[in-house]
Homo-oligomer: A and B are copies of this chain.
């Protein structure tokens, strides 16, 4: 009998049911799903408009406050293709990463806690609030990137006078999948400072050097990477040919160890100069983008996704993608990905799009949900 037909036969189906009742299962039936040539996680390419996010966030400010429960006033991005994952479907922007926008208002406090998930933040609007990480108050400004690897106490407070909004990214789905989630609230609600304010970024305000006391590898000797320096790096790197896939791209690093600033989640800042058109490629790691400045579009598996300042979009693993900036201003994209995890397990691969000079044919146009 033909394999396909055989597998559908009553004999086989009855046997499989008997196995299921015994909490056993037939590998032979599962092989087609297992023997997939490439990763298929269900995650789809997707985009969320800033206008939508901002509106819901402002509505939420009326309804929720951090001390009314919930720890943080944050709205996360839900990849529709991962929504039905059980038991952990919520909060997956990609199979391994959670991403959200968080809003904190003057006078508010988000209590301190620590956990085995790694976190990072990219500040998109406002100033005056701080994160207190491991006893260090880091005052946040637009364009700043903060890293809070696993295990460090962290909380937020806002002694300033304007609303602050930032992007959060954590490896919650990944650590959950491992069965490695541990969480602990701080006994003092919000951790008190034990070091000078902005201690680490002030110690690291120039060049590729480290204070001698940080030579021994530490998790996060530098908690915040100020925008001024990141911008300055991009300006310098812009003197040269952009990378054909990534444009002018830098990665935040841990000055003690040379690893990515957050050990599980790579964080990049990319400039797509006005008129830049990248070549498509695909890779095992998935990426979450935030459009910091400018506008443009990305073609993902043939579908065009237009984006502008404030938007978020996801490129799932192994999806062909290319970015275009057809405008007259440079575009800046902040992104997070699980590239370090893929590398650590030896499953990272990359391929360049083989046809048409590296440019996909556009077969669809994504329409984002609006209010």
Contacts and interface: CB of A to CB of B under 8 A. Distances in A.
Interface of A: 1, 3-4, 6-7, 11-12, 15, 18-31, 34-43, 46, 48, 52-53, 56, 59-60, 63-64, 68-80, 83-87, 89-91, 94-96, 100, 102, 113, 115-116, 150-151, 172-185, 196, 199, 202-213, 215, 217, 222, 225-226, 228-233, 235-237, 239-240, 243, 246, 249-259, 261, 264, 268-269, 284, 286, 316-318, 338, 341-342, 344-347, 349, 369, 371
Contact of A258 (B7, B26, B40, B257): B257
B249 A212 contact: yes
Contacts of A239: 202
Among A28, A90, A176, chain B packs the most CB atoms within 10 A around the CB of: A28
The number of times this chain is found in the oligomer is: 4
A39 B179 CA distance: 5
Contact of A23 (B73, B77, B116): B77
Nearest to A236: B205
B20 A78 contact: yes
Contact of A345 (B19, B94, B175, B205): B175
A176 B12 contact: no
A36 B72 CA distance: 15
8 contacts: A15-B60, A15-B63, A23-B48, A24-B75, A27-B76, A40-B181, A86-B86, A207-B232
Contacts of A226: 207
A313 B178 CA distance: 19
Given A258-B254, A258-B256, A208 B222 contact: yes
A347 to B, nearest CB: 3
A25 B225 CA distance: 28
Nearest to A264: B345
Contacts of A74: 27-28
Given A37-B183, A86-B86, A178-B342, 16 more contacts: A12-B64, A28-B73, A30-B76, A40-B181, A41-B176, A85-B85, A95-B177, A174-B178, A175-B347, A180-B347, A202-B239, A203-B240, A204-B208, A205-B232, A208-B208, A208-B261
A99 to B, nearest CB: 11
B116 A28 contact: no
Given A31-B69, A85-B86, A178-B174, A233 B252 contact: no
A316 B150 CA distance: 22
A318 to B, nearest CB: 7
Contacts of A69: 3-4, 6-7, 28, 31
A255 B252 contact: no
A96 B347 contact: no
A99 B159 CA distance: 53
Contacts of A232: 205-207
Contact of A211 (B207, B215, B237, B258): B237
B212 A246 contact: yes
A48 to B, nearest CB: 7
Closest 6 CB pairs of A and B: A258-B258, A28-B70, A207-B229, A206-B232, A180-B347, A3-B69
Contact of A27 (B75, B204, B235): B75
Contacts of A150: 345-347
A91 B177 CA distance: 14
B68 A179 contact: no
